[in-house]
Amino acid sequence: MIKKQYAVIGLGRFGTSVARRLREAGHEVLGIDVSEEKVEDAEKYVTHAVVADTTEEKALTSIGIRNFDVVIVAIGNDIQSSILTCMLLKDLNVDKIIAKAQGKRHGHVLDKIGVDWLVFPERDMGERVANQLLSPNMLNYIELSKEYNIEEIMIPSKMAEKSLRQLEIRAKYNVSVIAIISDGDIIVSPSPDHIIHERDLLVVIGNRQDLSKFSSIE
């Protein structure tokens, strides 16, 4: 796994759940908030945590925000601070910006600014966002326990036009294919000789770490 550097701005419930999951996966995570209390709490589950006002360009440049692979703006109810922060991040040429939107109008403004991915908290849970960051081929998942998930994964192109027997997914990746979604049809318990096509989705079950490795295959 390639380690990435993430910055999470806003350490409320949503930001905390994203930061914690990313750190658990072994990535570098910087937590940022204007509240000293939240920053102190965050030190337990992130790599570093700093108190900063991200609506100030000097604060962002002193942190070295340009060096992060992804910046998640999880500012709570202060829409103005969220918008100003995202504008500054764009001006500073941050590679990828993900931002929490409080509603359609807020989301529309953030989209116009050029935010790469909008998250609406009533629809997207923080941990789901983190999981999708960690596993770009994963489209959906069901958490069975703290250790096991069922996930819906888009196959990498190199697996296309091969049978499950040829791919040896269970032996190589320690996850099990329990269904295949192909052109809207669901094939439950597919046979080992079933051929997987490029746009097929695999429904797999396994340990979260094994699933994360499998869904990160390019």
Is the Cβ–Cβ distance between 216 and 135 less than 8 Å? yes
pLDDT above 80 for 88: yes
Provide the pLDDT for residue 166.
93
The overall pTM is greater than 0.85: no
pLDDT digits (tens, 9 = 90+) for 167-215: 999 899 998 888 888 877 788 788 899 999 888 888 888 887 888 788 7
Mean pLDDT, range 36-60, rounded to an integer: 94
**3-state secondary structure string, 74-141?**
CCCCCHHHHHHHHHHHHHCCCCCEEEECCCHHHHHHHHHHCCCEEECCCCCCHHHHHHHHHCCCEEEE
Provide the pLDDT for residue 128.
58
pLDDT digits (tens, 9 = 90+) for 195-207: 998 888 888 888 8
Provide the pLDDT for residue 141.
47
Structure tokens at 104: 């359609």
Mean pLDDT, range 79-83, rounded to an integer: 93
